[in-house]
């Protein structure tokens, strides 16, 4: 049999076998989408999900939080307003139980209930514990909370419109609304838009000896300030509000009045009156503050003209000096009281203090490497000195920034360079330190502000020790005066004796008793002296 091989040349796939499959295509999986980043919670996420006292966030609840005396005095205005009459003459401050004119331009009155004060403090504490972010309530207070941002703006808007507006009108409103005197006492206020207050910045501030201890002298960024005490006076000592003059007057830096906060009571004043809070000595104090504005009043020519004058710098009482705003602060404020708000500062300038210059060791030369700084604090002198090494040279400045007391030792050190030269007596190769708080720049050599601002830093002599191992600065230190010696006390003793003789003539019984005591002390002293001598002789 002849085989036909031709068919093998054309061999096909057998019907009995599955067809050959092509290799599978490579499957490329799409990359998994990254989960959307979780939105960072903000203060406005607090209410209603996380808030504690939800009643506080209801604007119509305002009558529950107001003191009965204040509700009574505004009741006639509330009824009158329903008829469409919005005048303020019916708000009778004469009948306002508890209203006081504290000083010209400064008044106080009962405002908040104890229940509201408790709930507000609890709400602030609860917010802090929630972990939500918060910013400083203003440019000068670091501890507190902006209430507008956590959902309470509407509630305090109701308080402004329904309660504080008529009080603002009667005290800081237009000529037809403003009262001249209350209870026979002249109010002496001016028109600051009180009749048309329509905006507010409401916040809590807190003071503790370890945190914000005081509030430097300043004026507020508002037209009328309502400041409410919400902490019982038993919880703190010190921290009195201190008021000075109006910003555009010659008495801007002269002491005007001191006020001690009372829980639930409001002190109201023009925002443009210089004021501050003294050092808190013990405990904790919190205040609710409402900075209120009149947007319509701010558009008037009268407002623009008044603000065009700006701050007045003249004679100053020490308690009215501001380390934030006064370029002559360090020249006028005694060193021991700088960056504090103490009552004793007022009398300090009247006492002459003897000082002497001394060289004080700061650190070893090896510790102060190029481009770094070291600081020494002299607690007794209330002084901080920062030393710097720049381009191989040593420099020493007052460590506390002339603006707001920020630590220059923590700032960056750079060459001044050519940019801005001419604004101060600087060279391009001079070093400058940049305050980390508000970025003010000071020449290390001269202490001058590089940008020409009048606020400058004190410069200290600085050197290496005789053996070259240590860095030293020269500072003025107070000399302790020893107690008076017996000879120097003699005139005082003679004066005392003379007064006793005079008393003998006027009141014989008193003088006899005094002379008897004096005789007893003299005899006892002589006896002890004799005993001491005898003992000394025996020892020999």
Could you read off the pLDDT of 175-187 as tens digits, one per residue?
999 999 999 999 9
Task: Report the pLDDT value the prediction gives residue 500, as an integer from 0 to 100.
Answer: 53
The pair of structure tokens assigned to 204 is: 């809590």
| φ/ψ bin of 79: left (φ > 0), alpha (ψ from -120 to 50), beta (otherwise) | alpha
- High-pLDDT (> 70) share of the chain, %: 79
3 pLDDT band, cuts 50/70/90, is very low
- High-pLDDT (> 90) share of the chain, %: 58
Burial of 410: CB neighbours in 10 Å, binned 0-12, 13-18, 19+: middle
1 pLDDT band, cuts 50/70/90, is very low
Which residues of the chain does CATH 2.102.10.10 include? Answer: 355-478
Q: Which helix (H) or strand (E) element contains residue 308?
A: helix 301-308
pLDDT at position 125 over 70: yes
The pair of structure tokens assigned to 265 is: 């009571």
Task: Report the pLDDT value the prediction gives residue 393, as an integer from 0 to 100.
Answer: 94
Burial of 386: CB neighbours in 10 Å, binned 0-12, 13-18, 19+: buried
149 pLDDT band, cuts 50/70/90, is very high
The listed CATH number (3.30.70.20, 2.60.120.620, 2.40.110.10, 3.30.465.10) that belongs to domain 101-315:
2.60.120.620
Q: What is the mean pLDDT of the chain?
A: 84
Written out in words, the top-level CATH class of the domain with range 355-478 is mainly beta
Could you read off the pLDDT of 443-494 as tens digits, one per residue?
999 998 888 887 889 999 999 999 999 999 999 887 755 544 445 555 555 5
pLDDT at position 172 over 70: yes
Residue identified by tokens 């009156």 is: 273
Could you read off the pLDDT of 409-430 as tens digits, one per residue?
999 999 988 765 555 577 888 9
Rounded CA-CA distance 349/334 in Å is 7
Task: Report the pLDDT value the prediction gives residue 4, as an integer from 0 to 100.
Answer: 47
DSSP readout, 444-494?
TTT--BTT--S----B--EEE-TTSSEEEEEEEEEPPPPPPPHHHHHHHHH
Task: Report the pLDDT value the prediction gives residue 484, as an integer from 0 to 100.
Answer: 47
Those residues with Cβ within 8 angstroms of residue 297's Cβ, 6 or more apart along the chain or in another chain: 191, 192, 193, 196, 223, 303
The verdict on pTM exceeding 0.85 is no
Which residues of the chain does CATH 2.60.120.620 include? Answer: 101-315
Task: Report the pLDDT value the prediction gives residue 244, as an integer from 0 to 100.
Answer: 96
Task: Report the pLDDT value the prediction gives residue 536, as an integer from 0 to 100.
Answer: 43
Closest C-alpha among 239, 342, 242 to residue 282? 239
Could you read off the pLDDT of 361-371 as tens digits, one per residue?
999 999 999 99
25 pLDDT band, cuts 50/70/90, is low
Query: CA 208, 112, 223: angle at the middle one, nearest 5?
Result: 80
Q: How many CB atoms lie within 10 A of CB 284?
A: 16
Task: Report the pLDDT value the prediction gives residue 493, as an integer from 0 to 100.
Answer: 53
The pair of structure tokens assigned to 127 is: 């917010």
Is residue 384 a contact partner of residue 392, using CB atoms and an 8 Å limit? no
pLDDT at position 97 over 90: yes
pLDDT at position 11 over 50: no
Task: Report the pLDDT value the prediction gives residue 342, as an integer from 0 to 100.
Answer: 85
């Amino acid at each position: 049999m002849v085989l036909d091989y031709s068919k093998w040349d054309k061999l096909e796939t057998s019907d009995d076998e599955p067809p050959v499959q092509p290799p599978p295509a490579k499957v490329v999986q799409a990359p998994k989408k990254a989960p959307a980043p979780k939105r960072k919670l903000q203060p406005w996420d607090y209410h209603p999900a996380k808030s504690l006292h939800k009643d506080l966030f209801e604007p119509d609840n305002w009558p529950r939080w107001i003191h009965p005396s204040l509700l009574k005095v505004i009741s006639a205005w509330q009824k009158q307003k329903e008829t469409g009459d919005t005048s303020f003459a019916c708000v009778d401050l004469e009948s306002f139980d508890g209203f006081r004119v504290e000083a010209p331009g400064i008044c106080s009155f009962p405002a908040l209930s104890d229940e509201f004060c408790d709930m507000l403090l609890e709400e602030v504490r609860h917010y802090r514990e929630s972990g939500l972010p918060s910013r400083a309530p203003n440019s000068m207070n670091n501890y507190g909370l902006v209430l507008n941002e956590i959902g309470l703006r509407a509630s305090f808007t109701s308080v402004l419109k329904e309660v504080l507006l008529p009080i603002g009108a009667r005290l800081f409103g237009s000529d037809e609304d403003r009262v001249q005197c209350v209870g026979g006492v002249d109010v002496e206020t001016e028109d600051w838009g009180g009749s048309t207050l329509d905006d507010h910045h409401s916040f809590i501030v807190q003071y503790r000896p370890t945190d914000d201890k005081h509030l430097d002298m300043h004026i507020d960024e508002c037209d009328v300030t309502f400041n409410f005490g919400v902490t019982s006076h038993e919880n703190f000592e010190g921290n009195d509000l201190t008021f000075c003059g109006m910003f555009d007057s010659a008495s801007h830096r002269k002491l005007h009045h001191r006020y001690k906060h009372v829980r639930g009571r409001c002190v109201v004043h023009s925002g443009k009156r210089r004021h501050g809070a003294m050092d808190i000595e013990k405990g904790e104090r919190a205040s609710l503050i409402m900075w209120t504005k009149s947007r319509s009043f701010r558009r008037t020519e009268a407002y623009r003209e008044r603000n065009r004058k700006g701050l007045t710098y003249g004679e100053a009482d020490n308690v009215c000096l501001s380390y934030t705003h006064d370029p002559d602060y360090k020249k006028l404020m005694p060193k021991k009281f700088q960056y504090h708000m103490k009552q004793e500062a007022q009398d300090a300038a009247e006492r002459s203090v003897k000082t002497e210059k001394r060289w004080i060791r700061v650190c070893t030369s090896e510790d102060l490497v190029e481009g770094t700084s070291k600081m020494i604090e002299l607690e007794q002198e209330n002084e901080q000195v920062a030393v710097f090494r720049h381009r191989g040279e040593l420099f020493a400045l007052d460590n506390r920034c002339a603006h707001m007391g920020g630590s220059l030792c923590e700032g960056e050190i750079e060459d001044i360079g050519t940019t801005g030269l001419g604004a101060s007596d600087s060279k391009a190769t001079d070093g400058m330190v940049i305050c980390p708080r508000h970025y003010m720049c000071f020449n290390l050599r001269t202490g001058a502000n590089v940008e020409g601002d009048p606020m400058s830093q004190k410069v200290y002599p600085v050197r290496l020790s005789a053996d070259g191992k240590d860095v030293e600065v020269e500072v003025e230190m107070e000399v302790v005066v020893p107690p008076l010696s017996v000879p120097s006390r003699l005139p005082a003793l003679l004066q005392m004796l003379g007064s006793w003789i005079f008393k003998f003539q006027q009141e014989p019984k008193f003088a006899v008793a005094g002379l008897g005591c004096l005789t007893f002390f003299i005899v006892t002293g002589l006896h002890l002296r004799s005993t001491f001598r005898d003992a000394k002789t025996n020892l020999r």
